[in-house]
Amino acid sequence: MNPEQLCKQIALIEAILFVSKEPVEPGRIMEFLGIGDIEEFEAVLAAMDKEHLQARPERGLILKRSGGGLQLVTKPDLHDELKQFFTVKQSTKLTLASLETLSIISYRQPATLAEISDMRGVNSSGPVKSLLQKKLIKIVGRKKVPGLPALYATTQEFLIYFGLNDLSELPSLEELTELFEEKEQPSLFK
């Protein structure tokens, strides 16, 4: 690929990602650019990263894989300054009950309300309703048992909210167990 063609492809990718509100699937960009080989596309992305982001670290945007797609996002080290410029409202703040519920769904999906409530030990209809409204979970079907309860699973918005490319990036349950075992509670007797 000649340098002029590469520059044009990089410019088009930047423009697509800049205009899009949500992550764009790589296959969609590849089809638009007429690139049939994923390795060739990855080479274009690597050139974009090297030429526009690594060579000029003063730039404010980075290429990120999120929600199964690609996005241009602001650099994390600029977030505090950007918060001063924009009045960011925390409307998507999650309660502890919602986080517990979301954790159960993300690791056990699909899960019914009864299964979630049983694991939490309390009625979880409130947190489930809140998570549905925030579009972090969705109904993916019905369990084939009496009553046909709804089955809940996480959404692409969940992946984006937590900065994950896919569910395989969730920490394993073993890693979480080790993390919580390492954090000992302070003792009053020391």
Quick check: helix, strand or coil at residue 148?
coil
Q: What is the DSSP letter of 136?
A: S
Each residue's pLDDT tens digit, 122-153: 999 999 999 999 999 999 999 999 989 999 99
Of 52, 85, 118, the last residue of a domain is 85
What is the count of structural domains for the chain? 2
* Span 87-93, average pLDDT: 57
- Same domain? For 103 and 39 the reply is no
User: Picking from 14-18, 28-32, 58-62, 97-101, which range would have the lowest pLDDT averaged per residue?
Assistant: 58-62
Q: Is the distance from CB of 135 to CB of 155 less than 8 angstroms?
A: yes
- Same domain? For 102 and 139 the reply is yes
* Span 173-189, average pLDDT: 62
Of 85, 106, 125, the last residue of a domain is 85
Strand partners, 152: 111, 139
Query: 187 lies in a domain?
Result: no
Q: What is the DSSP letter of 105?
A: H
**Which residue shows structure tokens 């080290």?**
77
Q: Does position 175 have pLDDT exceeding 70, yes or no?
A: yes
135 vs 51, residue with greater confidence:
135
The residue range of the domain holding 63 is: 3-85
What's the predicted TM-score (pTM) here? 0.57
Quick check: helix, strand or coil at residue 72?
strand
CATH code of the domain in which 79 resides: 1.10.10.10
Query: 188 lies in a domain?
Result: no
Of 65, 85, 105, the last residue of a domain is 85
